[in-house]
Amino acid sequence: MSAHAEATRLLPRPLLVTITVLLCAMVLVPLSYIVLASLNSDVGVAAGEFWPSSFGLGSYSKIWTTADLSTGIVNSLIVCGCTAVFSALLGTTTAYVLVRYRFRGRLTILRGLVGLQSIPGTLMLLPVFVLFSSAGNYLGLTVVGTRWGLFVAYLTFALPFSTWVMVTYLRGLPRELEEAARTEGASTLVILRRIIFPLSLPAIVVAAIFAFLLGWNDVLFASVLTRPETQTAAVALQIFGSSQEGGAVPVYSQMMAAALVCAAPVVILYLIFQRYLVGGLTAGGVK
């Protein structure tokens, strides 16, 4: 072990190993059961097997008929994908103005961006629901139950966070390039499109992914603002889970498979963008 590593070492080796093993076990024991159960059969899981007596992907093929998972996943992908794109673009524009220009109320907006993220969703859901349903009563627009309604709700709740991620990033971006472009006579929109967007692409990706996850992980709004045809993956899984009680044969293996399928897009996104996302997590302090 080098002198550097020796000096920065914080714990004696046995203790370090013990803690690491304990923490990994805490995560991996339940996780391995979930994966093993999803590869087992429903009968095997019901018999209480930890290690499957026969491995198979049967549960993964059955869930598509047992639960309404494919509708949910398609709806989630559409709604959350749109949310991601629009909130990242709008967030970048808003953040650019907030970072580069000083004006009255700027600090209030910045404070609001952080504060809005902590407002309980349950407080917002009812008035949003009332507003959306009065759009039906008074304007003849159907909003509740459509993907549009969900999209607008997610977009707005994602926007403060996306903007905040972009504010922290754009602060670190030197102004010289923009100023040079401006003296050449470029308009703000051109500067945004040609300079700011390309330069801040990594942060835009982070903002977009967080917006996507906000929608993907939401149950609260989706459970009230959707119909069976427009329900999201989260709602489909929740309904699948709660429909198990009182049923004749529990389908725990399919339950685990469905849960893992719903987690897959999120895990894949993290694996690809892990480095950026962890930085974004600590910056925004929000999941």
Subset of 188-217 contacting other proteins (CB under 8 A): 188, 203, 213, 216-217
Separation CA 11–CA 125 (nearest Å): 48
Q: What is the CA radius of gyration of the chain?
A: 24
By the rule CB under 8 A, 220 interacts with other proteins: yes
Q: Segment near other proteins (CB under 8 A), from 52-60, 65-73, 139-147, 251-259?
A: 251-259
Residue spans of alpha helices (H) in the chain: 3-8, 13-39, 42-46, 58-66, 69-100, 106-116, 121-139, 147-171, 176-183, 188-191, 197-199, 201-217, 220-225, 233-242, 252-284
Site for other proteins in 9-38 (CB under 8 A): 9-12, 16, 19-20, 23-24, 26-28, 30-31, 33-34, 37
Tell me, residue by residue from 60 to 99, as one string, x for binding to other proteins by CB under 8 A and - for no binding: ------------------------------xx-xx-xxxx
**Is position 7 an interface residue for other proteins (rule: CB under 8 A)?**
yes
When binding is defined by CB under 8 A, the residue of 58, 70, 100, 148 that contacts other proteins is 100
Give the residue, chosen from 74, 131, 180, 272, that forms a contact with other proteins under the rule CB under 8 A: 131
State both tokens at 102: 């000083």
Binding test (CB under 8 A) with other proteins, winner from 157, 161, 210, 212: 157
Give just the sign of the alpha carbon dihedral 171, 172, 176, 181: negative
Tokens in use for 132? 């959306």
CB of 65 to other proteins, least distance (A): 19
